[in-house]
Amino acid sequence: MKLKAVVLKNFRCYHAETRIKIEALSAFVGKNDVGKSSILEALDIFFNSDAIKMEPLDACVHGDPADVRIGCVFTDLPDELVLDATSTTNLRDEYLLNAEGDLEIHKVWNCNPKKPKESVYAVCSHPTAEQADDLLQLKRGELQQRLTDRRIATEGVSQSANPPMRKAIWQDFDDLQLDTLQLPLDKEDAKKVWDKLQQSLPTYALFRADRPSRDEDDEVQDPMKAAVKEALREVEGELEDIKRAVQERAKDVATATLDKLREMDQNLASELWPEFKEEPKWANLFKLTLTADDQIPINKRGSGVRRLILLSFFRATAERKRDEDESAGIIYAIEEPETSQHPHNQRMLVEALAELSQHEACQVILTTHVPGLAGLLPVASLGHVTIDSEGIVEVHTGEDDIYEVIAEELGVIPDNRVRVFLCLEGPNDISFLEHVSKMLHNHDPTLPDIRSDPRVAYIPLGGQNLVQWVHRHYLKDFGRPEVHIYDRDDDDPPQYQNAVEEINARDDGSWALLTQKREMENYLHPDAIREVLDVAVEISDDTDVPLEVARAIHEAEPDTKPWAEVDDDKRGKKKSKAKHHLNTQAAEAMTSERLCESDPDGDIEGWLRQIGEMIEE
């Protein structure tokens, strides 16, 4: 499952119900104490993590303490739910999805007691017609009676499981009178559904900026806890075998005990059956720590080093997850990733997190009050959090002018070393140029290595927002020239031709161009692609390289359906994944010899040489 939105009401500073959109990568930017961290901590409470629990003081002072609400909206839902050995259903048939077809779960607390009391609801488009509105709360016998009362033919309707009986009853209505309501998930099959759904929820790991540094409870220990949870998911089948084996062994002991008891008195007992009083808590059995070569625990090192440990953890996780499409989802939430980090490491961390979020099974949520980090992220990822004079919190996401608004509110303190703003369409183009420029710089030191040169600052413009950046000229007050490089693509005329002409008409030293080839990936050599992805593709100037590579990888997989039968959504995901691999792994495998063959006109060297001249002025 993927998290699509968070709903907050009466939680801390969120008085009115506030719906916050969540992307694969989401970064919430705003001043201190406006509610950024509350979003991350609300999710930690929702997912029942150990770090944060709901407390009476979490209730908004201006709201109803008996209705403190944290909701999550999920997409990419399981196709079916197995409630027991004979009962299989799905969320749509049970009318548990909201009007948009998503799963929306609200947890509501009464914070009046010293220990807040929790209730769980599905906000869904559900039948409200009399005798159709309560089926999920009915027991098996009650459903059978409902079938009888409504004189519904039961031929072909299994009465040994609840879902088929509910389905038959609902089908008996001409008008179910569907309406959005709050359905309790604490009784009968509604509770069974929620119990099963919890097993499919993403794992949530929160890394706070102000956590204590104790040996077994710090920002190093928490990612290891997440690793343990994820590992346990992977061996869930084996753990179930262990549980059954223990029950069987206990059953043998119970049977032997019963036999001896009967020898003493036949009337004392007829049956003994071992049952777990509560499910085994496997995660509590494993406590891990990280120790360096000098035997100094990592959590005793400097805070900056500990943050770099997180970076390594994330990157290792990303590499492992790339080949595990069936892996359970995981959400990484990091508060203020810039904490204790050198500016160069800040950028590396943000880039690593952006890379991690591109994996299908991962989402990343950040908070920061540093606008410079926001500039490294695409506009669709940004959320601007504000609070007005009356204490009303608003979260604006994905708006075209969000960079400008963030800069105006928080101010931008530019690095005085910056000489050129390099504006590209997105993170993939940035990654490609970084790898290629580093390779060319090692071959010819007169060319700049733009990845490590502080005189070059990247701006990922991205999609629809690109035209706004050009027309409004957001960066003009910095007094620095801009270099804009856009993909030509296959439109005629090219989509960004007018934007290029507008930039080239400026008199501030800025310049822009469209790639001579279709896009950045067309400058890759087939040998670099084959070396890292183990597929062979032919590349012309007009080839849709990510699509062809996605197709080749798909067809190389065993027992896979023909590419022509793959639906557009899955094709798009496979293409996006291939694009990421091309601009990271394949770009890193490029050599000067390969680039000479794939770029005989020297386009990329020409761009870099011109940038080099600008930063030396």
Provide the pLDDT for residue 215. Answer: 42
Give 588's pLDDT tier (boundaries 50, 70, 90).
very high
- Average pLDDT in the 466-470 region? 63
Burial class (CB in 10 A: 0-12, 13-18, 19+), 466: buried
Q: Is the Cβ–Cβ distance between 93 and 167 less than 8 Å?
A: yes
Count of CB atoms situated within 10 Å of the CB of 444: 12
pLDDT at 106: 97
The answer, yes or no, to whether residue 179 has pLDDT greater than 70, is yes
Dig out the tokens for 576 from the structure.
């996006």
Which of 267 and 81 is assigned the larger pLDDT?
A: 81
CA distance 271 to 42: 47
Task: Return the SS3 of 216.
Answer: coil
Answer left, alpha or beta for residue 195, where phi above 0 means left and psi between -120 and 50 means alpha: alpha
Cross-sheet strand order for the sheet of 382-387: 203-207, 330-335, 362-368, 25-29, 382-387, 393-397
Q: For the residues 476-503, what does the mean pLDDT come to? A: 89
The rounded distance, in Å, linking the Cα atoms of 138 and 145 is 10
Q: Confidence band (pLDDT; 50, 70, 90) for 225?
A: low
Q: Region 509-516: what's the mean pLDDT? A: 95
- Asked if residues 499 and 484 have their Cβ atoms less than 8 Å apart, the reply is yes
d(CA 10, CA 407): 30
- β pairing state of 2-9 and 68-75: antiparallel
Q: Where residue 542 falls among pLDDT bands split at 50, 70, 90?
A: very high
CB 437 within 8 A of CB 447: yes
Q: Which range, 76-85, 232-241, 438-447, 473-482, has the best average confidence (pLDDT)?
A: 438-447
Query: For residue 456, what are the β-bridge partners?
Result: 420
Q: How confident is the model at residue 14 (pLDDT cuts 50, 70, 90)?
A: very high
Q: What is the dihedral of CA 64, 70, 73, 77, to 10 degrees?
A: -130
Structure confidence at residue 38 (pLDDT): 94
Residue 211 has pLDDT above 90, yes or no: no
Name 121's bridge partners: 106, 184
User: Residue 423: phi, psi to the nearest 5?
Assistant: -105, 120
Q: Cα separation of 87 and 105, whole Å?
A: 22
Q: In b/e form, how buried is each residue of 398-424, taking b as 16+ CB within 10 angstroms? A: bbebbbebbbeebebeeeeeebbbbbb
Return all residues near 368 (Cβ < 8 A) that are at least 6 apart: 27, 28, 29, 36, 336, 337, 338, 374
Q: Kindly report, residue by residue over 387-398, the tens digit of the pLDDT.
A: 888 888 989 886
CA distances from 397 to 30, 392, 405, 469, 601 (A): 12, 16, 12, 17, 42
pLDDT at 206 over 90: no
| pLDDT score, position 18 | 95
DSSP state of 62: T
Prediction pTM value:
0.67
pLDDT at 44: 93
Residue 547 has pLDDT above 50, yes or no: yes
* Mean pLDDT, residues 115-140: 94
pLDDT higher than 70, residue 415: no
Q: How confident is the model at residue 222 (pLDDT cuts 50, 70, 90)?
A: low
Per DSSP (E only), the strands in 355-405 are: 362-368, 382-387, 393-397
Question: Is 346 or 115 the better-scoring residue by pLDDT?
Answer: 115
Mean pLDDT (the chain) is 83
Percentage of the chain with pLDDT > 90?
45
As a whole number of angstroms, the distance between CA 559 and CA 541 comes to: 32
As a whole number of angstroms, the distance between CA 252 and CA 262 comes to 15
Tell me phi and psi for residue 516, to 5 degrees.
-70, -30
Alpha carbons 354 and 20: distance in angstroms, whole number: 20
Spatial separation of the C-alpha atoms in residues 261 and 259, rounded to whole Å: 5
Give me 380's structure tokens. 């669709």
Percent above pLDDT 70 for the chain = 78
Would you kindly state where each structural domain of the chain is located, as residue ranges? 48-201, 228-285, 520-600
Cis peptide before 337 (omega within 30 of 0): no
Separation between Cα atoms, residue 453 and residue 406, nearest integer Å: 25
DSSP string of 66-100, one letter each residue = T-EEEEEEEES--S-EEEETTEEE-TTTTT-S-TT
53-98: per-residue pLDDT in tens?
Answer: 999 999 999 899 999 999 999 999 988 888 766 678 899 999 999 9
